[in-house]
Amino acid sequence: MSDAHYHATENPMKTGILGRCPQCQQGHLFNGFLKLAPSCEVCGLDYSFADPADGPAFFAMTIVAVPAMLFALWLQTTYEVSIWLHLITTLPLTLLGSLVLLRPLKGWLVCSQYFHKAEEGKLVRKGDL
């Protein structure tokens, strides 16, 4: 399929969060909750270029960890609760918050890779220049 009539995204964050194709913004990026589709069903863009690796999980845990920790500290210092109460409040809050963020963050990272034409790093020797 030709990409001549498609305009690549100018906002990879918005396109990725919506789970849309970075080339046409119409096709779907995912085949399931976190599994990338092999290609776009609208424009045919092959998603094999995308490799967000552990980036989405790292960002999701980092974003969720601070509010969860602050909540746990507030709960402990205010009410002096036992550990089991933390297990039924703070732990699910952390897990659910991370799961909610995984898909939008993965979409954003994939669309950013397309937008910035990211590729695997290569070593260049002096003789190759």
Band (pLDDT 50/70/90 cuts) for residue 3 is very low
Neighbour-count burial of 120, counting CB atoms closer than 10 A to its CB (0-12 exposed, 13-18 middle, 19+ buried)? exposed
Can you give the pTM of this predicted structure? 0.86
Average pLDDT (3-27) is 90
In angstroms and rounded to an integer, the radius of gyration of the C-alpha atoms of the chain is: 20
Q: Calculate the alpha carbon distances from 55 to 59, 70, 90, 101, 104 in Å.
A: 6, 23, 23, 12, 12
CA 127, CA 100: separation in Å to the nearest integer? Answer: 48
Pick the closest to residue 51 from 31, 36, 62 (CA basis).
36
CA 59, CA 84: separation in Å to the nearest integer? Answer: 27
To the nearest whole percent, how much of the chain has pLDDT over 70?
96
For residue 68, give the amino acid letter: A
Q: What is the pLDDT of residues 64-77, one digit of tens each?
A: 999 999 999 999 99
CA 84, CA 128: separation in Å to the nearest integer? Answer: 61
Tell me what pLDDT residue 119 has: 85
CA 101, CA 106: separation in Å to the nearest integer? Answer: 9
* Whether pLDDT at 105 is above 80: yes
CA 37, CA 25: separation in Å to the nearest integer? Answer: 14
